[in-house]
Amino acid sequence: MAETKYDILGLDKTTYDEAEAQTVSEGFKPFESGVYKSTIKEVAIFTSQKGAGMLKIVINPDDSLENITVYQNTKKKDGNPNPIGQETLKHALEACNLTVEDSVIKKEEIVAYGKPVQAQVIKSATGKPIIACVRQIKEEGAKFSDYNEIEAYARPDGTNSKGEDLLANFKAKIEKNPILNRVAKEQSGGQTASQATAAKDVSDML
């Protein structure tokens, strides 16, 4: 059987096709909560040394000097698909009016977690305009206490692939609560939940 673009990206087509819910992705730059006209700078999938499939998305909100970078697992180290990461990719591509099938994919070296890695870069997404629904999070007790979550990737008109408005509810949510405050829960070994998640992501990367 010929290799498909899903195979090239290490995706499970069934998991990808069944993805429905908008997912939450952590970024690393503390922008204020808001709806940002953004440009996709990079969408890539790479394989960690431990065999995990990792998604990297970089967006540039409102021509800012800073970007928001998102990392998520698309495939676990045991080879099983991770629906959350595949859903995130699906919705980011849909916001660009793209599918996996019609995307141009090129193997290139990128920088992930500060290290050069070989990745499958979805070139068709680069430079595409989208709208990012960004939440500012403050997490008391976390090592990185001020960060962002991207709650939704929308098309430039604010809709998803079904024509649903993604912005109205989000704007009402952040108007009521512009900064989402959390208290970090300590895990075994003295780590907070955020630190444990970050440590796992880095462990999967190395």
Q: Give dist(CA 114, CA 170) in Å, integer.
A: 32
pLDDT above 70 for 47: yes
Q: Per residue in 22-42, pLDDT tens?
A: 555 555 668 999 999 999 999
Write out the DSSP string of 125-186. Answer: GTT-EEEEEEEEEEEET-SS-EEEEEEEEE-TTSB-TT--B-HHHHHHHHHH-SEEEEEPPB
Q: Give dist(CA 7, CA 27) in Å, integer.
A: 27
Assessment of whether the complete model's pTM goes beyond 0.75: yes
Q: Give dist(CA 196, CA 153) in Å, integer.
A: 26
